[in-house]
Amino acid sequence: MTKNIAVIKGDGIGPEIVTEAMKVLDKVAERFGHTFNYTEVLMGGCAIDATGEPLPKETVDVCLKSDSVLLGAVGGPKWDKGEGKARPEAGLLGIRSALKLFANIRPAKLLKPLADACPLKEEITSKGLDLVIVRELIGGAYFGARKTGIEDGHKTAHDDMKYSDYEIERICRVAFDMARKRRGKVTSVDKANVLDSSRLWREISHKIAAENPDIEFSDMLVDNTAMQLVHNPAQFDVIVTENLFGDILSDEASMITGSLGMIPSASLGETSLGLFEPCHGSAPDIAGQDKANPIATILSAAMMLRYSFDMAKEADAIEAAVDKVLEDGYRTGDIMSEGMKQVGCKEMGTLIAERI
């Protein structure tokens, strides 16, 4: 099978970690008889430097013509003085919108070899930590109307957290479908005691729950969810929530697994075209030093095989290879512990590729 992949290496450690993910994908192609064709395009700070904008039209065009998109990370101090659409992160919001990717899937699972890296007590993690956050991706405050101006003599800013019933319904359906393939439980997270948008969210989520009686369903306020993630994460299977809440909760869930450098993500729409990226940022402080952890990006490539290409066995092979390398005691600096063997970004990618 031949697949065309748009590659956005981005800024900071992005080029390093994406290169290692491509190394693993090439090994998968060799082992399973596939061909992966890569087209590299610009987005983020490097795109601003080259073209003056964070998301060039050429990048969007290439991504739309591809079978999937693999992304590293964007942003860094060099471009922090930019405003609004001139910032690297605007490219990320723009590509999600252009590709109509409304569902962000972020798994958070504590791997046994990394149990010591988890900041939670063993008595908590022994109950299990294996959940998925399904985050609505192209609505809410990040995409609503915004305004900065002077009101009553004071500088004031507004961000509109707007949702329609259609947007809520489609993301909830993704969550229920995913729960059916996992442990059959959905927790819908909102702030319905305060926000009108959350009250609509709760109304629609209950409607979808009634259509899926085989799935256990509950509501939880976002502040309580934040507490419960560190108090008893085993209670969660699939969490579904809006854009802003999902952004915050998914980073919290990532860190309780031991390292943000371990967590992949998938952004999906109504077609097989998806965007796959690690949850972490561009980490410019370690860029170019062979210190980055490529595992989140490699696992994102596995999600690409699973969700965009319907290559479940190939995705399983990558995940098994990651587990084997960790079981063999190899660690990058961010997950290093006493008695383990520290390696750099390139060697970690090679070790995983060798075990495909």
Supply the residues annotated as catalytic: 142, 191, 223, 247, 251
Residue located via tokens 């319905």? 192
CA distance 18 to 260: 16
Q: Which phi and psi (to 5°) does residue 52 adopt? A: 90, 0
Q: Which phi and psi (to 5°) does residue 42 adopt? A: -100, 145
User: With contact defined as beta carbons under 8 Å apart, do 197 and 140 qualify?
Assistant: yes
Residue located via tokens 């690409």? 304
Other beta carbons less than 10 A from residue 70's beta carbon: 25
Judging by DSSP bridges, how do beta strands 264-268 and 238-241 pair with one another?
unpaired
User: With contact defined as beta carbons under 8 Å apart, do 354 and 343 qualify?
Assistant: no
CA-closest candidate to residue 132, choices 240, 215, 213: 240
CA distance 318 to 209: 34
Name 216's bridge partners.
185
